[in-house]
Structure 1
Amino acid sequence: MTSAPPAPRPSWLLPTLAGYRRAWIGRDVLAGLSAGAVVVPQAMAYATIANLPVEAGLYTAIVPMAVYALLGGSRAMSVSTTSTIATLTATTFVSAGVVANSDQIPRDLVTLTLLVGAALLLARLMRLGSLVEIINKPTLLGIQIGVGATVAVGQLPKLLGETSAPTGGGFIHSINAVIAAVPQANPVTAILSLVSVAALFLFKRFLPRVPGPLVVVAAGILLVAFGGLRDAGVELITPVGQAFPLPTLPSLQHVFQLIPGALAIAVMAFLESAAVARGIRELDDPRIDSNRELFATAAANVVGGWFQTLPAAGGFSQSAVNKAAGARSQLASLVTVVLALLIGLFLGPVISLLPQATLAALVFVAVFGLVDVKDLVLLWRISRRDFAIAMLTTVIGLTAGLLAAVGVGVLFTLILVLSALNRPRVRAEEAADGRMTVVLLGPLYTANVLATEQSVLDAADAARATAPLTELTLDCSTLQDISITVILALRDLDRELAGRDVRLRVRGLPSAARAVAARTPWFRSLEAGGRVE
């Protein structure tokens, strides 16, 4: 008697294991360890941007990453937190009046991450996956530059030996904090920071396969343990105990104040995740489904929120390491999760020896790449308008704050999209024997139908200026859908042309749109008069 075959795995669970080969296991394990060497120290460092304990970053490298590994469709994307998300978290806390400190994780962080997850989940339920991605490159570049400059300047006091975390107060506040920190700079801390930053850049430039962040973190800990840095006044991070993510209830004290920041973070989280997922996809990998990624990112935040994590998104640096090490599925991310758990459970006393300046150096180098001068130069050469949008978004981010920059960036994008969609798209063919054809090149809807009507009339007037015109055929093949507003506008077009002694004919209207139009007396009269082809 043969045993029954195993029940098939649901398609929504572990989709990256579909068609998995046993030969990939070794590559996935190596990739997970390599990515962990980058993501764990970086996640801890990013937590300090929001003046949160490093445990918050460590938890973000565990729970959201595990959830995405179960649900996400990108084979190599590593999901924890990013410099952009951490910076927006800091800004949101300051705007909402939340007091964050490096001694304990505030319950408001639980609330914020849950709000981000809820916003993403709502967008998924409304199938807005593709809509969220409409933010254009200039706007996104301006936000990234604003984040990079704000975070980089915000790390300078820590690189000089101060313990303040001014990033959440914005760029101007960070500049003031740097000026105040210079007279009290600790020389040994400044030297350690300089060497750490230089080492990270050198690793990135000449030894990209070596986990530079892990090497620098290990060196910093060894120098504290055996090199006497503590006696020289080098500040260490807040002591880390046994760090294991435990469920925590949210705080409702600042929930309404946190909502604007949560919406901004949700937009940026999905934008970053979608960009990373598409950027690292191989040609033979499954296509990235925007709505699946939206759901996976939402679930990562909803589940992670209960465990005191920062809002989560796909990170480019750790994902690039993951891919370069040969990751073939999200099994690599699960290996990273296990590594982060082991670090949290057993290496807390060792991590507590980490100099604060070393973590600041990790953040400084990580955000340095956000200030992409080459992309700015490219925008200047291709489109001065796009360059102006990028710079305006940057200036708003540096002066009014990053939340305002995200809001203005979304508004810019919507204006540009509507402007492009509302532009009438018609092609007037040359008139002959008193007849001409105007072809609609795009759909008609409320916002562009009047401008399109005027374009058709202008084409008719231009043709009448050179020769008699008695008939105009409107090719409506592109109108897969039609509304009462469009039908009334076409009726007005018929009336305007009749006033010019020009007969309107309608050609190529698809059957579904024609059935809707036929419910009106005007269109039925057109059909009765033989003016519909």
Structure 2
Amino acid sequence: MRDDAGPAPRRPRWLPEWLRTCRKEDIGPDVIAGLTTGAVVIPKALAYATIAQLPVQAGLYTACVPMAVYAFVGASRRLSFSTTATLAILVGGALARINPSGDAAAAMAASAALTLLVGGILLAGALLRFGFVANFISDPVLTGFKAGIAVVILIDQAPKLLGIHFDKGSPLHNLVATVQGLPHALPATLGLGIATMVLIVVIERLWPRAPAPLIAVAAGIAAVAIPALRAAGVETVGHVPAGPPALTVPELSALAVLWPAALGIALMSFTESIAAGRAFADRGEAPAPANRELFASGVANVCGAFLGAMASGGGTSQTAVNRLAGARSQLAGLVSAALALAAMLLLGPLIGKMPHATLAAIVIVYSVGLIDLAEFRAILAIRRTEFIWALVAMAGVVVLGTLQGIVVAIGVSLVALARQVADPPVHVIGRKPGTAVFRPLSPSHEEDETFPGLLLLRPEGRVFFLNARHMGEKMQAFVRAYDPAVIVLDLRAVFDIEYTALRMLVDGEVRLRGEGRELWLVGLTPNVFEIIRRSELGPRLGTERMFFSLEQAVACFAERRKSGRE
């Protein structure tokens, strides 16, 4: 809300914060933003329902129920909460295993069970304060994972764009079957799909605020009114029931089978929601609390499960539309949900006339955006290793499948983390001439001073059993190379020393003493100082071999040299 619009009127504390603080001047922008975002979200939700192997009306339900629930419970003022291409492909993969026949009623019941599980997992995460789990997937790995999802979606939607049919399987199976089916492609269906993609791209380039998906859907419905297109085999969605969502009873017997998929979907829902909400917050605005968002996402999914909605979460692209359209509070989400409800009540017969090729084209255009080539280039320019992790995550999704791809993505992130903490840097330190500035030696600072007989080393990070031996080997290599009388460890960048690492430091001091060398410590944090003090190393070093700064240690060494003790 803007601070220059005067104080907000007082309202009961049980109301959501945005309702208690909203002002009359915010209502107009929120209504316009909600209508604009709804015009974008609804066609995309219909298309994503087909990816999830669900009837298209499930997309309408998802654009309505979770959106409205989140508006009352969620903390992010601009987050548009329905579903995304990533969630849709994950849901589709899970439902394909439990409903291979594709029966619509069975799919809706299984989807309700899956969505209920996802909501329950998110609520449990909020109760256990697991908001930090959103950080388990690193940005480079998430970039690769989303790119892999995009490739899977493109392969999945290509047959609809071509007008061909075959039994679905793994992404690689579907790719081979699509290539083999190219001679049987229907030119009219392909032409309509390509025209739809061109129309969306042109509208978004020339009129970025226009609801391109809605215009594309209207154009597709108008196109199939041409008898020649229908005669050429262009297929439409078919019957779509009009009216509000009816109570959907989850298939509880499927819970035992669906829970692994639900874990992955819950993680992605939360990760995408947090990322989208924080990306489009106002500058200086406090980020939405992670555990509050877990709770809101869980409630939205649980409520949606009983009213036909598929697993839901915040979408980046639709949240961007909401922000650009001028949304100021969750009222915009309520307006988008109301628009979806109006579409359910009034537009069912019209939605049934949508061509499958049009929906496939919408999905393809917006899924291609998941492949962020600029981000891949940026990762490669900075860290080649993390670029490889991104490619591994992408390949995991395409080769192993989407649900297994989540495991690969998390596994790759954890391996990357373990690799980093297992190999922390140890720097040899020098002094900038004429100053009290100490910094790592490097070819760009060849003039920095070193001190014969004195070796200054600076390890970084937490020192524990996983990295202590490797760090010790690095230090020993520097000792052999410089052959110092005194080794100074600058521990200002070490915030903790675990017991195994402490034992190795104690043993290292004994070994150095046996070689006629001394170990000094500098810059101990209060936590590390207390650990050293309670160990046998503390009394052995005494206060005379522990210093506040490198400058003090160098001065002490120089004084000892001057007095002839070194």
Q: TM-score, normalised by structure 1?
A: 0.87
- Aligned with 1:158 (options 160, 171, 176): 160
Q: Deviation digits for residues 361-386 of structure 1, max 9, x if unmatched?
A: 21122212223344444445554434
Structure 1 counterpart of 2:463, one-letter code: L
- Aligned with 2:489 (options 474, 484, 487): 474
Equivalent runs, 1:287-298 vs 2, <5 Å: 287-298=287-298
Asked if the contact 2:122–2:294 (Cα under 8 Å) also holds between the matched residues in 1, the reply is yes
TM superposition outliers: structure 1 runs of 4+ over 6 Å: none
- Aligned with 1:458 (options 469, 477, 481): 477
Q: Is 2:519 the counterpart of 1:504? A: yes
Equivalent runs, 1:418-433 vs 2, <5 Å: 418-429=418-429, 432=451
CA distance in 1, matches of 2:198, 2:23: 41
SS in 1 for 2:457: strand
CA distance in 1, matches of 2:124, 2:174: 35
SS in 1 for 2:252: coil
- Aligned with 2:539 (options 503, 525, 528): 525
CA distance in 1, matches of 2:389, 2:315: 25
Structure 1 counterpart of 2:514, one-letter code: G
CA distance in 2, matches of 1:460, 1:376: 40
Report deviation, 1:333: 0.5
Tell me: CA distance 1:118–1:453, structure 2 relative to 1, closer, same or farther (3 Å): farther
| Alignment partner, residue 403 of structure 1 | 403
Report deviation, 1:43: 0.5
Tell me: CA distance 1:526–1:70, structure 2 relative to 1, closer, same or farther (3 Å): farther
Q: Deviation digits for residues 409-439 of structure 1, max 9, x if unmatched?
A: 2212211122122223333446747554433
CA distance in 2, matches of 1:380, 1:506: 38
| Alignment partner, residue 462 of structure 2 | 443
SS in 2 for 1:362: helix
Q: Deviation digits for residues 38-73 of structure 1, max 9, x if unmatched?
A: 111110110001221012111111222123222333
Asked if the contact 2:393–2:412 (Cα under 8 Å) also holds between the matched residues in 1, the reply is no
Equivalent runs, 1:20-59 vs 2, <5 Å: 20-59=22-61
Asked if the contact 1:110–1:249 (Cα under 8 Å) also holds between the matched residues in 2, the reply is yes
Asked if the contact 1:193–1:357 (Cα under 8 Å) also holds between the matched residues in 2, the reply is yes
| Alignment partner, residue 433 of structure 2 | none
Asked if the contact 2:216–2:358 (Cα under 8 Å) also holds between the matched residues in 1, the reply is yes
Instruction: Point out where structure 2 has 5 or more consecutive residues left out of the alignment.
Output: 1-8, 431-449, 548-566
CA distance in 1, matches of 2:29, 2:524: 55
Structure 2 counterpart of 1:449, one-letter code: A
Report deviation, 1:221: 2.8
Tell me: CA distance 1:403–1:354, structure 2 relative to 1, closer, same or farther (3 Å): same
Asked if the contact 2:45–2:59 (Cα under 8 Å) also holds between the matched residues in 1, the reply is yes
| Alignment partner, residue 107 of structure 1 | 109
SS in 2 for 1:254: helix
Structure 1 counterpart of 2:157, one-letter code: Q
| Alignment partner, residue 313 of structure 1 | 313
After superposing the two structures, state which structure 1 stretch, 175-184 or 311-320, moved more. Answer: 175-184
SS in 1 for 2:253: coil
Tell me: CA distance 1:312–1:165, structure 2 relative to 1, closer, same or farther (3 Å): farther
Asked if the contact 2:108–2:248 (Cα under 8 Å) also holds between the matched residues in 1, the reply is no
Tell me: CA distance 1:374–1:524, structure 2 relative to 1, closer, same or farther (3 Å): closer
SS in 2 for 1:438: strand
Structure 2 counterpart of 1:100, one-letter code: G
Q: Deviation digits for residues 94-115 of structure 1, max 9, x if unmatched?
A: 3456543446643221222223
Asked if the contact 1:53–1:101 (Cα under 8 Å) also holds between the matched residues in 2, the reply is no
Q: Is 2:85 the counterpart of 1:70? A: no
CA distance in 1, matches of 2:384, 2:506: 41
Q: Deviation digits for residues 175-218 of structure 1, max 9, x if unmatched?
A: 24434654554444333323222212221222221111111222
Equivalent runs, 1:477-488 vs 2, <5 Å: 477-488=492-503
Structure 2 counterpart of 1:307, one-letter code: L
Structure 1 counterpart of 2:25, one-letter code: A
Structure 1 counterpart of 2:191, one-letter code: I
Q: Deviation digits for residues 4-63 of structure 1, max 9, x if unmatched?
A: x956536xx745557533212111100000010011111011000122101211111122
Tell me: CA distance 1:500–1:54, structure 2 relative to 1, closer, same or farther (3 Å): same
| Alignment partner, residue 132 of structure 1 | 134
Asked if the contact 1:53–1:238 (Cα under 8 Å) also holds between the matched residues in 2, the reply is no
SS in 2 for 1:472: strand
Tell me: CA distance 1:499–1:161, structure 2 relative to 1, closer, same or farther (3 Å): same
| Alignment partner, residue 5 of structure 2 | none
| Alignment partner, residue 344 of structure 1 | 344
Structure 1 counterpart of 2:117, one-letter code: L
CA distance in 1, matches of 2:241, 2:99: 28
- Aligned with 1:94 (options 89, 93, 96): 96
Asked if the contact 2:147–2:394 (Cα under 8 Å) also holds between the matched residues in 1, the reply is yes
Structure 2 counterpart of 1:68, one-letter code: Y
| Alignment partner, residue 202 of structure 1 | 202
Across the two proteins, how many residue pairs are aligned to each other?
Answer: 520
Q: Deviation digits for residues 269-319 of structure 1, max 9, x if unmatched?
A: 223223322332331433343333333333332332333322112212222
